[in-house]
Amino acid sequence: MFLDERRDYARLMSGNITGPLHGRIAVVTGGARGLGYAMARSLADAGADVALLDLLDGVRDAAEALAADTGRRCVGITVDVTAEASIADAFGSVARDLGIADVLVNSAGITSGTPLIDTQLASWQRVLDVNLTGTFLAGREFARRHVAAARGNPASIVNVSSMSAFAVNIPQTQAAYNTSKAAVSMLTKSAAIEWLPLGIRVNAIAPGYFASDMTRDFVASNPEMAEDWVRRIPAGRMGEPDELGGLLVYLASEASSYVVGQSIVIDGGYTTV
Ligand SMILES: NC(=O)c1ccc[n+]([C@@H]2O[C@H](COP(=O)([O-])OP(=O)(O)OC[C@H]3O[C@@H](n4cnc5c(N)ncnc54)[C@H](O)[C@@H]3O)[C@@H](O)[C@H]2O)c1
């Protein structure tokens, strides 16, 4: 029952069975699985057609499953968000298959678990390349296409930061990841101010511990650490991926028309105490 209530939130907000994102076209990087897929589903439930962009070959199957489940037009496109040409090709495919995107969710991300003193340069750079540079490249391509289309419609970018942008969540060691997410939140503010006059609002969501494909394997092989996390979360549990949907649809839609440059933490109270 609660799950249905969360999935129906978009419709409840609008009082409109077509959903607040009806007629919009959304791109979700890192959309083949995990939080990206769950957020793509929330956007589709709210009426958007969705392009999933991901490094994984399974992205096409994921898009087919999403389309079958939600009745929206969905496409899956292989991309490496760290490569300019790959991003340009992927957005070209989106434009051909669905149209010019009005919503971008930057969810592609990787983590690192090495003590800082042992961290190799290549590993440090890879985390920053995917999490930060990938967010920049996809945002810039989205913005250029929005400006070139000159349709005058509102556009929204939602970056996926992390509570790790604001708190060093111990006991794991992940300095590169924490640093990359703090930078994503600053990029969010900077892009928000530069692109607001272009009709693009930029915000971020900053999740705490969520049960995703990324964390599930980690939790299975580190059960004591996972218990430690849960002990520190006032809500007493990790978040479920669909619990991001209400905030995401709010930020993607014009319901949040005066929210600019924010990174909104959604963490069951972890960073509140
Ligand atoms: N799960 C959590 O608890 C949590 C908490 C805070 C923030 N986040 C952030 O949420 C986002 C999604 O994380 P998740 O937990 O769903 O992880 P995940 O590993 O399940 O999904 C990440 C997706 O990004 C894709 N990806 C990785 N590198 C890519 C690249 N170079 N180009 C294109 N796609 C690429 C992967 O293939 C994968 O499908 C990440 O940015 C992560 O940092 C997750």
Quote the CA–CA distance of 28 and 131 in Å, as a whole number. Answer: 14
Q: How many domains does the chain have?
A: 1
Question: Which of the listed residues 28, 35, 123 should we mutate to test ligand 1's pocket, taking the one with most ligand atoms within 8 A of CB?
Answer: 35
Q: Which residues contact 44 (CB under 8 A, 6 or more apart)?
A: 50, 66, 69, 70, 72, 74
**Among candidate residues 51, 102, 58, 94, the one with its CA nearest the CA of residue 72:** 51
Residue range 126-155: average pLDDT? Answer: 97
3-state DSSP assignment of residue 206: strand
3-state DSSP assignment of residue 53: strand
* CB of residue 40 inside a 6 A radius of ligand 1: no
Residue 5 or 236, more confident: 236
Residue range 199-213: average pLDDT? Answer: 96
Q: What is the pTM of this model?
A: 0.95
Q: Are 268 and 235 in contact (CB under 8 A)?
A: yes
131 DSSP 8-state letter = I
Domain containing 12: what range?
2-272
The answer on pLDDT for 223 being more than 50 is yes
Q: What is the CATH number of the domain that holds 234?
A: 3.40.50.720
Name the least confident of 108-112, 156-160, 199-203, 213-217: 213-217
* CB of residue 225 inside a 6 A radius of ligand 1: no
Quote the CA–CA distance of 153 and 9 in Å, as a whole number. Answer: 24
Give the model's confidence band at 1: pLDDT under 50 very low, under 70 low, under 90 confident, else very high: very low
Cβ neighbours around 153 below 10 Å, total: 12
Q: Is residue 81 packed enough to be buried (19+ CB in 10 Å), middle (13-18) or exposed (0-12)?
A: buried
* CB of residue 102 inside a 6 A radius of ligand 1: no
Quote the CA–CA distance of 78 and 39 in Å, as a whole number. Answer: 18
pLDDT of residue 216: 85
d(CA 212, ligand 1 centre) in Å = 9
Give yes or no: 209 in active site: no
- The two beta strands, 155-160 and 200-207, are parallel
Cross-strand partners of 75:
51
The number of residues making up the chain comes to 273
Quote the CA–CA distance of 214 and 256 in Å, as a whole number. Answer: 29
The answer on pLDDT for 51 being more than 60 is yes
pLDDT of residue 189: 98
The answer on pLDDT for 187 being more than 80 is yes
Omega into 171 within 30° of 0, i.e. cis?
yes
Give the model's confidence band at 17: pLDDT under 50 very low, under 70 low, under 90 confident, else very high: low
Q: What is the pLDDT of residues 57-96, one digit of tens each?
A: 999 999 999 999 999 999 999 999 999 999 999 999 999 9
* CB of residue 212 inside a 6 A radius of ligand 1: yes
Q: What is the pLDDT of residues 147-173, one digit of tens each?
A: 999 999 999 999 999 999 999 999 999
d(CA 15, ligand 1 centre) in Å = 32
Residue 132 or 16, more confident: 132
